[in-house]
Amino acid sequence: STPIMTPSKPPTVAPITAPVNCGGHTAATCADCPINEDGNWNGKGWCNGECEWTADNECVHELVSASRYGSELRHNNTECLSQLKNYGNLSSPELCAMAAGEDECGSFMFSSSYTVWGWGCRCCSSPNPNHKDHDLWAVYDVVDCDDPNSECI
């Protein structure tokens, strides 16, 4: 049988909730900062405040760019059958990976559709979680970017 992961310490990252401060305006996530309310692309000049533009031409939260943890999508449109912990209303899978990684959680579920409504970021109770279909959730694996075999950018 698959062992159950038991986190040994609370996450050390500050919880970042939606919306994020883009510097002069807010958005649901940093990735949304360069897009105006009409859906038009305004570019990296709109990625400020809590967010920063990366060499990979992405707008990410300033804490994400300094994190040793990343995420890899395992299953889209699914949820874990059981969850160990809710990390709160985090605004992106990257921030969820930070909290889950610091807590030694190997996989988590996240809903980008309901970041504002508080569905949260939740640690799956097993490192290889059983899951069921759900259109509004996705299951991710936590990637340790300090591991030389990882493919973190």
Mean pLDDT of 123-150: 84
Q: Do 110 and 23 touch, CB atoms closer than 8 A?
A: no
Q: 4-54 pLDDT, tens per residue?
A: 333 333 334 444 566 889 999 999 888 899 998 898 999 999 999 988 888
CA-based angle 95:118:12, to the nearest 5? 35
pTM of the model: 0.60
Using DSSP's 3-state secondary structure scheme, residue 92 falls into coil
Residue 88 pLDDT greater than 50, yes or no = yes
Using DSSP's 3-state secondary structure scheme, residue 80 falls into strand
Residue 114 pLDDT greater than 80, yes or no = no
Computed over its alpha carbons, how large is the radius of gyration of the chain? 15
Q: Do 27 and 50 touch, CB atoms closer than 8 A?
A: no
Q: 50-84 pLDDT, tens per residue?
A: 888 887 788 888 776 666 888 889 999 999 888 89
Spacing of C-alpha 27 from chain mean position: 15
